[in-house]
Structure 1
Amino acid sequence: MPILSFSDWKTRLSGEGMALPVRPSNSAITKAGIGGFLAIATVALIGYFGGNPLVLGSFGASCVLVFGYPDSPFSQPRNVFFGHVISSAIGLLCLTLLGPAWWAMALAVALAIMAMMALRIVHPPAGSNPVIVFLSMPGWGFLVFPTLCGALLICVVALVYNNLSRTSPYPKYW
């Protein structure tokens, strides 16, 4: 990597002068909020009555993408589901093999990013799952409850809600 001068940094950090993104319509904003509410409510309620917590902090960010920007590649069900599962599995594997060291957590995040990119299942909120694993230090059951079940429920709610509330189909691909 080249060494940048102060002037180079100043130029790079000043931005490119692009305009802000277009503000979504009030209808789109409302629909996204309702979708996020329904998804997290479903995951939390089923977890509550099933006796297993199914909510991860990263699921809130998943809802931003899935309901606010459902046409994005990051928002497609395969990315949501497999991104969460792969990232949690990598976090658990690194925690098990390397222990709860700071560098192991960093390595787990790096490996999760690389795996999601290589497998074409990038879902940015899932990148936080290895961090969640290292902070909570769960057992391997974490892969099923909350990761797999919670991600699956979000996908199911997204499939139903996005197809009922929008004119364009969801998902864009499997």
Structure 2
Amino acid sequence: MSALKLAAAGLSALVIGLIGLLGWWAGQPWLLPSLGPTIALQAASPELPASKPRHVLVGHAIGLAAGLVAVYVTGAYADPSVAGADALTLARVAAAALAVGLAMTGEVLAQASHPPAQATTLLVALGAVEPTIKGAASVVCGVLLVAAFGEAIRRLQARA
């Protein structure tokens, strides 16, 4: 049993490293904090519905959309990033709360629960991902890569 968990850890590290290298090569920030929990879930718990590609893709898409809607509805897009300013504004707090509520509701309605996608939602709401086409495209690319590589690992782990 512990050999499988060690294999999951090694494979997860390999996927994160590969996404990071591809992003570095392309000059794009495709490596996002929310991809770590996603690949961990795919590798360590391949049998869970949340580990399947549909849940990964739809969950992160909903999370991204919810974050974007929230920053524009609350006006948080005009505030500095929480990480960059080392401060939390009321608009960012409102955006975070609204984004998580919207994302979780969307996942329930789409029947595509993927808890790591809430991190994507917060990355946008708190300003770590710019609410622009370029920012959204970086998230999409990272999620597509983790879904593809993670599915290969999920299938491999499910057979073990």
Same fold (TM > 0.5): yes
User: 1:167 maps to what in 2?
Assistant: 159
Say which structure, 1 or 2, has more relative contact order (CA 8 Å, 6+ apart): 2
Distance in 1 (CA, whole Å) between partners of 2:58 and 2:12 is: 19
Distance in 2 (CA, whole Å) between partners of 1:48 and 1:128 is: 22
Structure 2: 5+ residue stretches without partners = 77-90
The root-mean-square deviation of aligned C-alpha atoms, in Å, is 1.6
User: Contact 1:39 / 1:154 at 8 angstroms: preserved in 2?
Assistant: yes
User: Contact 2:45 / 2:51 at 8 angstroms: preserved in 1?
Assistant: yes
Once the 2 structures are TM-superposed, how far is the Cα of residue 97 of structure 1 from its aligned partner? Answer: 2.5
- 1:148 paired to 2:124: no
Distance in 2 (CA, whole Å) between partners of 1:74 and 1:137 is: 23
* Structure possessing the higher radius of gyration over alpha carbons: 1
Distance in 1 (CA, whole Å) between partners of 2:100 and 2:135 is: 17
Aligned length: 143
Q: Which has the higher helix share?
A: 2
Distance in 2 (CA, whole Å) between partners of 1:163 and 1:106 is: 35
Q: Percent identity?
A: 30
**Using a 3 Å threshold, how does the CA distance of structure 1 residues 129 and 161 change in structure 2: closer, same or farther?**
closer
Structure 1: 5+ residue stretches without partners = 1-24, 169-174
1:10-48: CA deviation from partner (whole Å, max 9, x where unpaired): xxxxxxxxxxxxxxx122111211221121011101100
Once the 2 structures are TM-superposed, how far is the Cα of residue 165 of structure 1 from its aligned partner? Answer: 5.0
User: 1:125 maps to what in 2?
Assistant: 116
Given the two structures, how large is their TM-score scaled by the length of structure 1? 0.76
User: 1:30 maps to what in 2?
Assistant: 6
